[in-house]
A and B are shown apart, each in its own frame.
Chain A
Amino acid sequence: MLYSSILERFNSIREREMNTLNPSIKSNQYQFYGLVTLRFLIGWHFLYEGIAKLLNPYWSSAAYLLDSKWIFSGIAKSIVSNPTLLTISDYLNMWGLTLVGISLVFGLFSRYGALVGMGLIMMYYLFAPPLVGLEYGKPNEGSYIVVNKNLIEACALWVLYVFPTSQYIGIDRFMNNETKN
């Protein structure tokens, strides 16, 4: 009873989302393909970040975690000190990044991919935010204050989540008959 009412509610939200968001993004080709390009680029970035880590037998999230500052530094430290947690963290990163990359590039469950990717990047941001007064061992490749590329990429993924394109361009197209054309 409860389950079916939740499902009903979920479906109605989904339907409303599709109806309100999709026609508008499809109406302007420049806007639409801009979003598709953004999805490909972020997907590509995630995919290589993941694969590069998978290919490097010495990669570990430990160095990043050890340099963590601000509210999550305690959690970071306990992850590093526990070999099991560290291994889990390493695998979550390597495979998380790779799978999100595949999801965005191929347009397969891309909305969820964008959501998971946003979560991952927000973690990177929160474990080491460029706030005034926090200094890190590893130098940045640019100059940041509060806002850095992680935050921007997370925000871009949020845009991809609320303006999904994979039901038009992507494997998701085959799963959504009503959105064809």
Chain B
Amino acid sequence: MANKKNKTNLERRDLLKGLAGVPVAGFFLLNLWQKIRRDKIKKSNLLSDLVQEKKAPAVVKSVSNSRQLNIGIIGYGGRGGHLVRGAGFATTAWTDKASENARKNKLDKQFETFMTQEDLNCSLVGVSDLFDVRADQGIDASKNETRPGGKPAVTAKKYPRYQDMLANDEIDAVIIATPDHWHAKIVIDAAKAGKHVYVEKGLTRTFDEAVDIYDVVKETGITFQLGHQNRQVEANEKAKQIYRQGLLGPVNLVEIATNRNSPWGAWVWNIHPKGNAKTIDWETFQEPSPNKIPFGEEALKRFFRWRCWFDYGTGLSGDLLSHDFDAINQIMDIGIPKYASSTGGVYFYKDGRDVPDTWNATFEYPDHKDGGLTLLYSATLSSANPRGNRIMGHDATMQMGGQSGGGSIHGFAVTADEYSTQYKERLNNGMINPSYPIMTYSPGSKDIDGVTSATSKYFANKGLLYTYRDGKRVDPTHLHVKDWLDSIRNGTQPRCNVDVAYHEAVACAMATESYLTGRRVEYDAKNRKLI
């Protein structure tokens, strides 16, 4: 009897010792369950409760195969080359280098992104550039077989005069990527010739030219797209939903910024060794500019670094303010400001330029629905401190781009305001902590790629280099060109049509005018005039 009891005791002790981990695991599971439950409550308070649409924007419906289109490029420079790549044509030099980069650095996805982009069912049939070397590169791109969709059907023709290209009836549409001072004339000529137009930003050099473009596009009914590829960036569409839902509360101040700190970023671009009086048509180049100079060393500098002079562009205004202004217009539908004023100067790059390298502009919207709105733009070309853009609401602030670290490319973070009215209860019961974002958005965070150069990083933070569709990396420039071509085929309006293009052009022109005249500029919407 005693023996049996002893044995049972022994067995029980055995069992207890063998299963000693069970209570530990039980305690663990209890804690895990509490943690999961708490996280769930927190999430429901912060996310599902707040953001109605949680899914990423759908992929643009593919209609690229319905009708073949013939396109021409006017101005095949750095940007023109990128746009034509967006349409599916890259130079052999580019594909060779990109594939070599991919071989050397497995994280470099540029080549893969290009080769996997959708074939837009178009042919590059005409190239026009005032610099012969560039025109030849465009021809080379038109016949390069390394491209999505395989061997091109035709080789492009070189047009020294763009007017001859517009006279070709086989051409359906043109991409215009010349310096800004040529935009208005070419857009008007193209629209009158019945060609659909994709034109690079900034839309025009002057206010009057913007009005002319607006009118001619409306009169002719062509399909018009301005080159703000941010319109295709997923994060901006997401930000728009959040703003529209009122999650930020009333917004009275928006800050946008440019922070660059490299010669390239300040438009000190290389002067091509083959650039000379024979290869460059200088007289045609300076035809629409207010001041003319004879061809020589200074002219060469101006030809390749045209963004540094008001004769050909508007510097920070048309090049960089325009992007960020348009992104805010995309998110908040702010339209044209009532007043603009700006100040700045050439404080760092004393290389003969006349456009400012440090520049601040304010735009006033006294009639904005939130009671009134100030848009503040601050730019420097001598510091790369990533300030990012901020939409500052009474209830929460949205910080876009410019975040350091975390591998977040063109995402944003929304942080509740300590004194918010909307979130008062949640702040009081500790459900929302104003020190941490209530929501962060960084698309493609599982898809890592190496964006290496400083300029690439600048654009990636602004969301201008890559965006994500269904988790796949795509070049927004490609999506923007596709949006334009699809709209031509469907007879619909592309995302950056002439209405929103006009907003950007007028806002930028007002700020430029203010800098040049030293006074506050007002927009008279009724008479379409600057006062």
Contact = CB atoms under 8 A, between A and B. Distances in A.
Interface of A: 36, 40, 43-44, 47-48, 51, 55, 58, 60, 62-63, 66, 77-78, 80-82, 105-108, 137-138, 168-171, 173-174, 180-181
Nearest to A174: B18
B520 to A, nearest CB: 45
| A contact face: mostly helix, strand, loop, or mixed | helix
Contacts of B25: 105-106
B106 A62 contact: no
A180 B14 contact: yes
B47 interface: no
Given A55-B36, A62-B446, A171 B18 contact: yes
B24 interface: yes
Secondary structure dominating the interface of B: helix
B30 interface: no
Contacts of B22: 106
A44 B24 contact: yes
A66 B448 CA distance: 9
B28 interface: yes
Nearest to A60: B446
A169 B17 contact: yes
Contacts of B10: 181
Nearest to A137: B405
B407 interface: yes
Nearest to A181: B10
Contacts of B28: 44, 47-48, 105
A12 to B, nearest CB: 27
B448 A62 contact: yes
Interface string B10-22: 1000100111111
Contacts of A44: 24, 28
B153 interface: no
A43 B19 CA distance: 15
Contacts of A170: 17-18, 20-21
Contacts of A60: 445-446, 448
Contacts of A63: 407, 448
B32 A40 contact: no
Interface in B103-154: 106-107
Interface in B78-112: 106-107
B107 A81 contact: yes
